[in-house]
Structure 1
Amino acid sequence: MLVIAGHLVVDPADRDRYVADCATVVEAARKASGCLDFALTADALDPGRVNVYERWESDEELEDFRGSGLDAGTAARILDADVRKYRISAVEPA
Structure 2
Amino acid sequence: MLIVSGRVHVAADARDGYLDGCQEVVTQARSAPGCLDFALSPDLLDPTRVNVYERWESDADLAAFRGSGPDTGQLAAIVDAEVMKYRISATEAP
- Deviation, 1:12, is 0.3
- Residue in 2 aligned with 1:32? 32
TM-score (norm: length of structure 1): 0.98
Pair 1:7-2:7 in alignment? yes
Within the alignment, does 1:22 sit opposite 2:22 as a pair?
A: yes
What residue ranges of structure 1 are gaps of 5+ in the alignment?
none
Kindly state the Cα deviation for residue 71 of structure 1 after the two structures are TM-superposed.
1.4
3-state DSSP of counterpart to 1:55: strand
Following the alignment from structure 1 to structure 2, what is the Cα–Cα distance between the partners of residues 29 and 82? Answer: 20
Give, in whole Å, the separation in 2 of the partners of 1:51 and 1:20.
14
TM-score, L = length of structure 2: 0.98
Alignment of 1:5-84 (within 5 A): 5-84=5-84
How far has the Cα of 1:69 moved from its partner? 0.8
For residues 73 and 30 of structure 1, the distance between their equivalents in structure 2, rounded to whole angstroms, comes to 21
How well do the aligned residues superpose, as a CA RMSD in angstroms? 0.5
Greater helix content: 2
CA distance in 2, matches of 1:53, 1:73: 20
Identical counterparts, % of pairs: 59
Q: Which runs of 5+ in 2 are unaligned?
A: none
